[in-house]
Amino acid sequence: GCKMLTNIGNVLRAGAQRTGAAALVSARTYSDFTTQATFEIKKCDVYKLDEAPATQVVMTRDEGLQYYRTMQTMRRMELKADQLYKQKIIRGFCHLYDGQEACAVGIEASINLTDHLITAYRAHGYTYTRGGTVKEIMAELTGRRGGIAKGKGGSMHMYCKHFYGGNGIVGAQVPLGAGVALACKYLGKNELCVALYGDGAANQGQIFETYNMAALWKLPAIFICENNRYGMGTSVERAAASTDYYKRGEFIPGLRVDGMDVLCVREATKLAAEHCRSGKGPILMELQTYRYHGHSMSDPGVSYRTRDEIQEVRGKSDPISMLKDRMLSNNMASVEELKEIDVEVRKEIEDATLFATTDPEPPLEDLCNHIFHNSPPTEVRGIHPWSKLKSVS
């Protein structure tokens, strides 16, 4: 299950414990650091919007450290998942999020944990930012009892409070997200729902049907296309007649954002969230991002793009390196301090991996549990499939 975390202002609320001040800094005190700085960020392209997100933004040292730790945790977690998959410890489907960390962290920095989020099957990062622990996520990947969905969901189906999980059906999470947004409006709680989908899913008919209903009913929904440039082995140019995903809501305003810059994503999401909360209805965002791995584990990811392209993105616009450079060049942190965070993150991943590889698998009797939300219906012949299951292992 998930821990409900306290709301620390606009600082990212992540599963990791906040140890900004605990890091060891050799021969320097914290008072030497710049506590906040202003950054120039890329301009967003806007569609049917009167205002655009700011291009000058302030980030505090604490926020920077928090974003850095969260992105680093997500990155290391995915690299570990890749390793465990190759050792056949993780089986089945597995879609990795490395390269796209700035999207999740930027979005979460601008919404509350009481807001709602639903995504596609590239879901590990969001499970973490929504409050899942590395331990629960890794154990879910290896199908163990201590996993966030008790080992029954695996990579594509993780859930926790206000997080409606990954969805294995391409595009299906978008209408579900609109349903959650409808609930937000119906209950009058001033909450919103973020529904994420990829550039491949953007061509699904159900997404356009959802746009239509969301616009008619003025639902507080932020539709976010994480455009990582390739569907399952197909570049966006070959898959979409219009690759301006942020304009494809037609009657819904849109924003196109640099999805590799956590501050760009944060500013754009801030504007989108205000738009929804002020009753103006849905808004669309396109985050231009990149995935370092293949589409899934069965895709080496180099037949339809070059290794050079991947290396170039890593070299020029890696979300973690970009944040690190900003912090160091503005005297917001020291190299030693960030290294210390890296060490702590590595240890957290190693501990989680140990748990995920030693925790027992759920017993066979558990197969049919958790089907009903509360108590199962009355005794009728044949409706309790688990009454005749016996585990022999």
286-318 residue pLDDT tens:
999 999 999 999 999 999 999 999 999 999 999
* Residue 186 is a catalytic residue: no
In this structure, is residue 306 part of a structural domain? Answer: yes
Residues 382 and 292 in one domain: no
Q: Which two tokens stand for residue 370?
A: 């958790």
Residues 281 and 381 in one domain: no
In this structure, is residue 12 part of a structural domain? Answer: no
Q: Which two tokens stand for residue 235?
A: 């570049």
Q: How many domains does the chain have?
A: 2
- Gap between the Cα atoms of 290 and 65, Å rounded: 23
Q: In what order do the strands lie in the sheet with 116-118?
A: 45-47, 254-258, 283-288, 221-227, 193-198, 116-118
Residues 238 and 347 in one domain: yes
Per annotation, catalytic residue among 13, 69, 122, 295: 295
Residues 212 and 290 in one domain: yes
Residues 377 and 315 in one domain: no
- Angstrom CA distances, 312 to 12, 102, 234, 309, stand at 29, 17, 19, 5
In this structure, is residue 9 part of a structural domain? Answer: no
Residues 261 and 352 in one domain: yes
- Angstrom CA distances, 278 to 273, 275, 322, stand at 9, 5, 33
In this structure, is residue 329 part of a structural domain? Answer: yes
Residues 151 and 293 in one domain: yes
State the pairing for strand pair 254-258/56-60: unpaired
Domain of residue 309, residue span: 36-362
Residues 247 and 385 in one domain: no
Residues 309 and 374 in one domain: no
Residues 302 and 384 in one domain: no
In this structure, is residue 45 part of a structural domain? Answer: yes
Categorise residue 323: left if φ over 0, alpha if ψ from -120 to 50, beta otherwise.
alpha
The CB density around residue 52, as the number of other CB atoms within 10 Å, is 14
Answer for the pair 174, 129: CB distance below 8 angstroms, yes or no. Answer: no
For residue 213, the surrounding DSSP H or E stretch is: helix 205-216
* Residue 295 is a catalytic residue: yes
Per annotation, catalytic residue among 277, 304, 305, 314: 304
Asked whether the predicted pLDDT for residue 48 surpasses 60, the reply is yes
Residues 286 and 373 in one domain: no
Residues 274 and 384 in one domain: no
The pLDDT assigned to 389 comes to: 62
Per annotation, catalytic residue among 95, 291, 293, 326: 291
Question: 266-289 pLDDT, tens per residue?
Answer: 999 999 999 999 999 999 999 999
pTM here? Answer: 0.89
Q: What would the mean pLDDT of 62-86 be, rounded to a whole number?
A: 98
In this structure, is residue 4 part of a structural domain? Answer: no
